Amino acid sequence: MDMSTENEIQRLTVLLEEYNYQYYVLDNPSVPDSEYDRIFQQLQTLEKSHPEYLNPNSPTQKVGGLALTKFEQVKHQLPMLSLDNVFSEQALSDFIQRVTDRFDEQTAFCIEPKLDGLAASLIYEKGLLVQAATRGDGKIGEKVTENVKTIANVPLKLRGDNIPALLEVRGEVFMPKAGFNKLNEGLINAGEKPFVNPRNAAAGSLRQLDSKVAASRPLAFYCYGVGVFEGQLANTQFERIQQLKGWGLPISAEIKRLIGKENCQDFFDDMQLKRANLSYEIDGVVYKVDDISLQERLGFVARAPRWATAYKFPAEEAVTVVENVEFQVGRTGAITPVAKLKPVFVGGVTVSNATLHNKDEIQRLGILIGDQVVVRRAGDVIPQVARVLFDKRDPDSTREIVFPMVCPVCQSSVERIEGEATIRCSGGLYCQAQCKQAIKHFASRKALDIDGLGNKIVELLVDHNMIKHPSDLFSLTIDQLSSLPRMGEVSAKKLINSLQISKQTTLARFLYSLGIREVGEATANNLANYYKSIEAVKNAGIEDLKAVADVGEIVAKHVYYFFRQEHNVEVLTKLIDAGIHWPEIKAAEQEKQPLIGQTLVITGSFSSMSRSDIKNALQALGAKVAGSVSKNTDTVVAGEAAGSKLIKAQELGINIMDEAALLTMLEK
Ligand code: IVH
């Protein structure tokens, strides 16, 4: 009995170790989480009833143990160095040049993401994790073994062959973005202070005296090197990292071996693009001479190796001062507070504005004019004020942000809608700011699609008092237009011509172009199909509007009240008087639209019609034509040589129509 219990514990342990390896290292689990949990519980139960067989490195022992009163100090057998930094293409190129000058053009580099966490040293003896330490000052660190043992992807026992008798693994402890967000959410809900960023959260968690707390924190580890070891290791950095992976140690999936300046720079550019989509934070790219014997020949300067450098991304956060707050008026009148900043270089560009969104956000930040703030710009994201540096606040040079009582552009009264954080200008199209936005929207591609009427020209036209409303566009003259800066007679003529062309439109486009709140392209389409005339839409009541596909209470109210405002009706009338027209939608067309409410996908090639003609024909029958197959697809129209879309449709059991069936339907 005992013999078999011991065997069973052994069997379950090996199974869980294998599952962990597949999940954390290979990123390719072979069983669902539920199966893992089941085995885990079986092992836990057996270990509880037979503590004599409990192995300290069992996969169940990742929950933390007794709390410490302080961390022991550990002296690193080999110092833990830091890296030199470069911040430009030129500086990276210089680094590569220096190295290749000593060796040759073909010198290979192992290139790794620079993980944004904190360095740790893990010591494995005979394949078992016996000690983990922080970097500390590089010579002496703190022993955080109990905490590191709780990190889910750190193996307590190495797997595979030829494991060195002693192996010091070096790498980064970090907190993946998803775990960080969840942790902070929990802290905020509990009324506690959230962590400022994943690195601080990782550092705070790794240095918990109570390993049970550390165990509850979603930490992770990736290795990027080796310290002391006994036995044989590969002769290149890249191969060593692969060896570590083979022994069950997690590594980043992004690591590559490359030769040449251009490839090295390309990798950096790619990582910068990929950065936002990675599940963990990185702050640059590390370039290491791949050949270990070349590394040894290059050696070290001070505290950094000559054989490696870190090419850092431009900082995504910077400190600056809020010099003022201005209020911008958008197309629908929403008034947005915008912080005017002392210009600061952040995320690779100079930033002088950051949106403050609304009152709630201002309250959340606790921000005042004159405050020092951290501005954040990640990738293409618009600059945000991340937080206020309260301890730097000077009461004498700060003042409160006062919301305007009237629109800052047209002085109309400001509306506050209950339950909304936003305030709005009530001026509608009579407000110059709203007017500019409304005209830009009116001219945009999905609306009247007025070729040559870009944002700049709209601003000029409004600023020069040439137009106030979209309807004024149609009485512009060539003389007026060519009097504008940078507008010659040729472009003026062209614009007049495209204005003329744009008058021929569809009811759906026209409805969309009016810029009614919450009425996007699809809703405009539904309204047009349902009501068939602008008069009918205009006269519809709220309850009636709710009968239209995808129109709920809120949209219905926006549509209803839009047409109850006199100035909107006035503009509408003027537009129609200016000659905007569309083909009549006859009452009978409803019946001629058997595909209304259906989503179709076209794939493959067709002999009797072009793809775009088929699309038009299907849309005329009321169908929505989508680009990809999903469970919401009703029918896939498949021509010759249809590929993956057809396969997906078959898998999902979606109705498939061939060219012959399509033609029969269209004829009907
Ligand atoms: S190698 C001798 N590789 O960056 C080289 N470090 O600025 C020692 N780091 O303390 C470090 N990702 O915490 C190396 N792929 C990577 C890294 C990396 C992040 C951190 C590490 C180190 C710091 C040096």
Q: Which atom number of ligand 1 is nearest to the Cα of residue 255?
A: 15
Q: Which atom number of ligand 1 is nearest to the Cα of residue 172?
A: 13
pLDDT given at position 592: 63
Q: Which atom number of ligand 1 is nearest to the Cα of residue 112?
A: 15
Q: Which helix (H) or strand (E) element contains residue 118?
A: strand 118-125
Of 224, 252, 281, 296, the residue with max ligand 1 atoms within 8 A of its CB, to mutate for a pocket test, comes to: 224
Closest residue to atom 11 of ligand 1, CA basis: 82
* Half-sphere CA count of 537, side-chain side, radius 13 A: 30
**CA 467–ligand 1 middle distance (angstroms):** 60
Q: Which of 95, 145, 110 is nearest to 225 (CA)?
A: 110
Of 82, 83, 206, the residue with max ligand 1 atoms within 8 A of its CB, to mutate for a pocket test, comes to: 83
| Cα-trace Rg, the chain | 33
Say which CATH class 594-667 falls into.
alpha beta
Closest residue to atom 22 of ligand 1, CA basis: 82
Does ligand 1 lie within 6 Å of residue 621's CB atom? no
Closest residue to atom 24 of ligand 1, CA basis: 82
Interatomic CA distance for residues 133 and 142, integer angstroms: 5
Q: pLDDT-derived band of residue 365, with 50, 70 and 90 as boundaries?
A: very high
| pLDDT per position as a tens digit, 78-110 | 999 999 999 999 999 999 999 999 998 889 999
pLDDT given at position 550: 83
Closest residue to atom 2 of ligand 1, CA basis: 81
pLDDT given at position 247: 97
| pLDDT per position as a tens digit, 225-253 | 999 999 999 999 999 999 999 999 999 99
Does ligand 1 lie within 6 Å of residue 111's CB atom? no
Of 76, 110, 115, 237, the residue with max ligand 1 atoms within 8 A of its CB, to mutate for a pocket test, comes to: 115
Q: What percent of the chain has pLDDT over 70?
A: 98
- Residue 114 falls in the annotated catalytic set: yes
**CA 527–ligand 1 middle distance (angstroms):** 59
Say which CATH class 73-312 falls into.
alpha beta
Does ligand 1 lie within 6 Å of residue 141's CB atom? no
Q: Which atom number of ligand 1 is nearest to the Cα of residue 117?
A: 13
Helical ranges in 160-231 per DSSP H: 177-189, 198-206, 211-216
Q: pLDDT-derived band of residue 472, with 50, 70 and 90 as boundaries?
A: very high
Does ligand 1 lie within 6 Å of residue 82's CB atom? yes
**CA 102–ligand 1 middle distance (angstroms):** 24
Does ligand 1 lie within 6 Å of residue 119's CB atom? yes
**CA 114–ligand 1 middle distance (angstroms):** 7
Does ligand 1 lie within 6 Å of residue 290's CB atom? no
The DSSP letter of residue 429 is G
Question: 440 pLDDT exceeds 80?
Answer: yes
Lowest-confidence region among 272-286, 334-348, 465-479, 584-598: 584-598
Of 275, 286, 312, the residue with max ligand 1 atoms within 8 A of its CB, to mutate for a pocket test, comes to: 286
Does ligand 1 lie within 6 Å of residue 116's CB atom? no
Q: Which atom number of ligand 1 is nearest to the Cα of residue 310?
A: 7
Does ligand 1 lie within 6 Å of residue 310's CB atom? yes
Lowest-confidence region among 94-98, 155-159, 654-658: 654-658
**CA 265–ligand 1 middle distance (angstroms):** 19
pLDDT given at position 627: 82
Q: Which atom number of ligand 1 is nearest to the Cα of residue 82?
A: 24
**268, 311 in Cβ contact below 8 A?**
yes
**CA 119–ligand 1 middle distance (angstroms):** 7
Closest residue to atom 12 of ligand 1, CA basis: 114
Q: List beta partners, residue 387.
A: 374
Does ligand 1 lie within 6 Å of residue 223's CB atom? no
Of 85, 172, 237, 290, the residue with max ligand 1 atoms within 8 A of its CB, to mutate for a pocket test, comes to: 172
Best CATH choice for the domain 3-61 from the list 3.30.450.20, 3.40.250.10, 1.20.1250.20, 1.10.287.610: 1.10.287.610
Nearest 10 degrees: CA dihedral of 362, 366, 368, 370?
-120
Q: pLDDT-derived band of residue 447, with 50, 70 and 90 as boundaries?
A: very high
Task: For residue 658, give every residue at least 6 positions away whose Cβ sits within 8 Å of its Cβ, in sequence order, or none.
Answer: 637, 638, 639
pLDDT given at position 624: 82
Closest residue to atom 23 of ligand 1, CA basis: 82
Does ligand 1 lie within 6 Å of residue 148's CB atom? no
Does ligand 1 lie within 6 Å of residue 305's CB atom? yes
Does ligand 1 lie within 6 Å of residue 436's CB atom? no
Beta strands in 245-290 (DSSP E): 256-259, 282-289
The rounded Cα 224 to chain-centroid distance in angstroms is 26
Q: Which of 24, 35, 36 is nearest to 176 (CA)?
A: 24
Does ligand 1 lie within 6 Å of residue 281's CB atom? no
pLDDT given at position 64: 82
Task: For residue 534, give every residue at least 6 positions away whose Cβ sits within 8 Å of its Cβ, in sequence order, or none.
Answer: 507, 510, 511, 572, 576
**CA 222–ligand 1 middle distance (angstroms):** 11
Cα angle, residue 218 at apex, residues 213 and 222 outer, rounded to 5°: 120
Tell me the mean pLDDT in the region 621-646: 84
**CA 225–ligand 1 middle distance (angstroms):** 9
Task: For residue 123, give every residue at least 6 positions away whose Cβ sits within 8 Å of its Cβ, in sequence order, or none.
Answer: 129, 130, 131, 132, 166, 167, 168, 169
| pLDDT per position as a tens digit, 484-509 | 988 889 999 999 999 999 999 999 99
**206, 139 in Cβ contact below 8 A?**
no
Cα angle, residue 111 at apex, residues 106 and 114 outer, rounded to 5°: 155
**CA 275–ligand 1 middle distance (angstroms):** 17
Question: 3 pLDDT exceeds 80?
Answer: no
pLDDT given at position 2: 60
Domain ranges, ordered by start, for the chain? 3-61, 73-312, 594-667
Q: Which of 261, 246, 232 is nearest to 109 (CA)?
A: 261
Interatomic CA distance for residues 459 and 439, integer angstroms: 9
| pLDDT per position as a tens digit, 308-348 | 999 999 888 899 999 999 999 998 899 999 999 999 999 88
Among the options 114, 157, 245, 436, which is catalytic? Answer: 114
| pLDDT per position as a tens digit, 248-292 | 999 999 999 999 999 999 999 999 889 988 999 999 999 999 999
For residue 219, the SS3 value is coil
For the chain, what is the mean pLDDT?
A: 91
Interatomic CA distance for residues 487 and 476, integer angstroms: 14
DSSP string, 535-588: HHHHH--HHHHTTSTT--HHHHHHHHHHHHSHHHHHHHHHHHHTT-B-----GG
